[in-house]
Amino acid sequence: MTKFLNHHPSSEMLVEFSAGTLDTATSICVSAHLHFCKCCRNEVARLNEIGAQLMYEAQPEAIIDNGLFDKVMAQIDQPQPAVENSREKTDISGFPTHVNKLLNDAQNTPVWKRLSSSMEVAKLFTGQSKFEVALHKICAGGVTPKHDHRGLEYTVVLKGSFSDEKSVYTQGDFIIREPGDVHQPMGAKNGECICLSAREAPIKLKSILGLILNPWLRVNPS
Amino acid sequence: MDKINQSAPKVAIFKSTEKRDDIWSVLLVEVGTSQDRSAFAQLFEHYAPLLKSFAQASRQDGWFPGLAEDLVQEVMIKVWQKAGGYNPQKASATTWIYTVARNCRIDMLRRKCNTQHLPLENEDFWHEPDEATPVSLLRQKRTEEHVKLSLEQLPQEQDEILRKVYLEGKSHTEASQELDLPLGTVKSRVRLGLHKLQILVAPEFKKELVND
């Protein structure tokens, strides 16, 4: 399928992703974008060549203990533990594999909670403490409150599309928002929109209601 | 190392324009298709020292030298287990093994720094390269060769940062602190390096390239 995506992670992020130095939550978002974007997948494949070549040229060459090969062979001959597969899985078709894995995490099953008449949220447990990672669902034509950001926020559209004052975002688009970026996302009229997001700090509502609610808004990285 | 078969590496059997013909990729295919232990022994002999050097280069928080041989073991076991999924049309053995090593290194660190349950492994973020066509294989091989040749010719200041990021495992921010340089300088040196290696695609070209 040919897709035209307008919003990509920066090359710096792809470098850090390929080198493995990007934090877990951001990697989850970048990887979700790669699921949809062939162009960035190819760029990461080329970036991996740097790591491979640097590893290949490593000097001085390390000395390997004589026993290590035998240790590896001994482990290879051990029977593989059976993968438990008893639990029923509810994969959402078209979603990136790792997002489905988080949705199916038996120890921390995500729960959809209603935020407003047009929006639901399900927090995802990712085992890190920097970003709150969640899925947001906006109903068809749903309007969300106008807000600013108090920290970095990465969003990847997984299903449907939404728009704000700046652009229209479709499946696979990778969006970065920083403090000072004020917007009011609106779900497309033709169907619900589901986004993956990683948020460093709570949003800041711009409406009069924000005066009351803003001090109480929190993120819970997990 | 007495188990290692010292016989001469098998001769490449593919035409170079069509398939990957370096001996390591051929050996890795043999491990994958027929669990060939002597092929695996040759791969071990070649890659174990490289993997150990890669592990020793790490300067990540929480990493210590004692982990180097653990990493070699873990990576080589994964190589044996996953070789069946290796497709020489998509990547060279070296690149494929590098990605396994990078993923293992991150996961080992995460497990060391975390006692709680971790729902994902780094491998889960990884995407198989796209189905290779003759054109994309040629392009991929050209990138490999180009990176190989141009890395040696990179200005020292660009080379230094790429090594910090890929070998030491430092983020751009950490690299800027350690080298006492503004973050913008670090980013622009990385960018210049990537241009020299002909890896970068300018954002304005991304739209067209999605379609190729």
User: Both tokens of residue B80?
Assistant: 């044996």
**B:115-174 residues touching chain A, CB 8 A cutoff:** 116-120, 122, 124-127, 129-130, 140, 143-144, 147-148, 151, 162-163, 165-167, 169-172, 174
Mutate to test the interface with A, among B136, B165, B185, B205 (most CBs of A within 10 A): B165
For A84, A92, A95, A107, A124, the CA distances from A87, given in Å and listed in that order, are 8, 16, 19, 12, 18
Give me the domains of chain A, ranges plus CATH numbers: 97-216 (2.60.120.10)
**Residue A113: what residue type?**
K
Q: For residues B74 and B18, state if they share a domain.
A: yes
Q: For residues B99 and B176, state if they share a domain.
A: no
Residue of B nearest to A46 (CA): B199
Work out how many domains chain B is built from and give that number.
Answer: 2
Mutate to test the interface with B, among A54, A108, A173 (most CBs of B within 10 A): A54
pLDDT of residue B12: 41
Domain end among B115, B130, B145? B130
Structural domain boundaries, residue B164: 154-212
Q: For residues B100 and B172, state if they share a domain.
A: no
Cα separation, A25 vs A8, in Å, equals: 16
- The pLDDT tens digits of the residues spanning B102-130 come to 999 999 988 887 767 788 888 898 887 77
Cα separation, B205 vs B31, in Å, equals: 40
Chain B residues within an 8 Å CB radius of A55: 50-51, 53-54, 94, 98, 101, 166-167
- The pLDDT tens digits of the residues spanning A11-61 come to 999 999 999 999 999 999 999 999 999 889 988 998 999 999 999 987 767
Residue A130 burial (C-beta neighbours within 10 Å; 0-12, 13-18, 19+): middle
Average pLDDT score over residue span A114-119: 91
Q: For residues B174 and B75, state if they share a domain.
A: no
A101 to B124: CB separation less than 8 angstroms, yes or no:
yes
φ, ψ of residue A89 to 5 degrees: the values are -105, 145
pLDDT of residue A216: 86
What are the start-end ranges of the H helices in B11-116? 23-34, 37-57, 67-82, 93-113
Q: What is the pTM of this model?
A: 0.88
Cα separation, B118 vs A187, in Å, equals: 33
Identify the CATH number of the domain in which residue B167 sits.
1.10.10.10
**Residue A106: what residue type?**
A
Identify the CATH number of the domain in which residue B113 sits.
1.10.1740.10
The confidence band for A108, taking pLDDT boundaries of 50, 70 and 90, is: confident
Q: For residues B80 and B183, state if they share a domain.
A: no
Nearest to B30 by CA among B91, B93, B90: B93
How many residue contacts between A and B have a Cβ separation below 8 Å?
Answer: 206
φ, ψ of residue B149 to 5 degrees: the values are -70, -45
Distance from CA of A18 to the nearest CA of B (A): 8
A55 to B52: CB separation less than 8 angstroms, yes or no:
no
Q: For residues B126 and B69, state if they share a domain.
A: yes
Cα separation, B89 vs B144, in Å, equals: 13
CB atoms within 10 A of CB B88: 21
- The pLDDT tens digits of the residues spanning B158-169 come to 999 999 999 999
Please check whether residue A64 touches B, CB under 8 A: yes
φ, ψ of residue A176 to 5 degrees: the values are -110, 130
